């Protein structure tokens, strides 16, 4: 496995070693010891899976302490534009964002630590996403930031089409950076 820090070093892209042959492929999707060797010491307690159609934008979501969540995201089918926004007020990268394109083909993961908002946009016809979380879902501590907040200025690959949003995401608050 290869662990590559992004422009915000606490957000890490993970590239597994994939063994391919005429039958298909095999790889270790998660190995605690290898992840710790790559600088990820998070204990994950919940796995989530979502399925979305092309043009769906989910996010930007986060949970407040004491239920803040680190996430480990991967795409099982399709492709997504995955985004992490640093919302740690004392961080030198506060208000900055990074993105990675995660696909079923490249098998990459993205590790997003606590203190970040997370969202993704579905680029393929459909996409199935699996992600591990370091804390349980706590709806009273859940918050959202508007996906199109002008302060953040995220360059989503929308190709001129409005995204498909949930009512919660359409009504999300702006980033107060």
Q: Which of 31, 61, 118, 136 is catalytic?
A: 61
Q: Which of 62, 111, 121, 131 is catalytic?
A: 131
Residue 85, SS3 per DSSP:
strand
Asked if residue 107 lies in contact with residue 18, where contact means CB atoms within 8 angstroms, the answer is yes
d(CA 169, CA 61): 9
Assess whether 131 carries a catalytic annotation.
Answer: yes
CA distances to 25, 57, 146, 167 from 156, in Å: 31, 9, 13, 19
Assess whether 61 carries a catalytic annotation.
Answer: yes
d(CA 143, CA 8): 22
Instruction: Show which residues are catalytic.
Output: 61, 131
């Amino acid at each position: 496995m290869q662990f590559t820090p992004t422009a915000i070093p606490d957000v890490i892209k993970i590239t597994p070693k994939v063994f391919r042959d005429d039958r298909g492929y095999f790889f270790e999707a998660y190995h605690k010891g290898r992840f710790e060797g790559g600088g990820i010491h998070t204990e994950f307690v919940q796995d989530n899976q979502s399925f979305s159609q092309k043009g769906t934008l989910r996010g930007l979501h986060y949970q407040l302490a004491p239920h803040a969540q680190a996430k480990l995201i991967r795409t099982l089918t399709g492709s997504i534009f995955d985004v992490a926004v640093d919302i740690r007020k004392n961080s030198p990268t506060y208000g900055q964002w990074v993105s990675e394109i995660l696909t079923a083909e490249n098998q990459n993961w993205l590790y997003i630590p606590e203190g970040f908002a997370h969202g993704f946009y579905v680029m393929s016809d459909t996409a199935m996403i699996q992600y591990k979380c370091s804390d349980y879902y706590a709806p009273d501590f859940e918050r959202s930031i508007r996906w199109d907040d002008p302060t953040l200025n995220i360059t989503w690959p929308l190709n001129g089409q409005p995204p498909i949003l949930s009512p919660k995401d359409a009504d999300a608050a702006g980033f107060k950076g």
